Amino acid sequence: MKKAVFILALFLSVSYNAQTDKDVVEKVDEIAEFKGGALEMVKYISKELKYPTSAKDNKVGGKVFIKFIVTKEGIVEKAEILKGVENCVECDKEALRVISSMPKWSPAKLAGKTVSSYYNIPIKFDPA
């Protein structure tokens, strides 16, 4: 079976919640970036992600969409599932675990200053 595969389709979320995340910027000049770039992020996720045994045994797969904040200090926080894999809570939890354990990023910038921003990542679990 193939190991869980990370789909490289990254984009900055434009959602904004002024009540709970008032310091998170909606639009930035430079998006936050995993240290070393997108390829290093793919390597990190591929290395850390463990396909849940129950999902693998039952050939359950799909994409987990995760939203999180990269703070102005580069810390990944407030990771949450936007859409999970149908019939695989374990896949959702595993994707969330990996994203939540990421090392520091290079934060987003707006007008030359570092800012906190949202980031969305899809992670694919491929049972093939």
pLDDT in tens, the chain (128 residues): 444 443 333 333 333 333 246 789 889 999 999 999 999 999 999 999 999 999 999 999 999 999 999 999 999 999 999 999 998 999 999 999 999 999 999 999 999 999 999 999 999 998 87
Domains of the chain, start order: 5-125 (3.30.2420.10)
Report yes or no on whether pTM surpasses 0.75. yes
What is the three-state SS of 27-84?
Answer: CCCECCEECCCHHHHHHHHHHHCCCCHHHHHCCCCEEEEEEEEECCCCCEEEEEEEEC
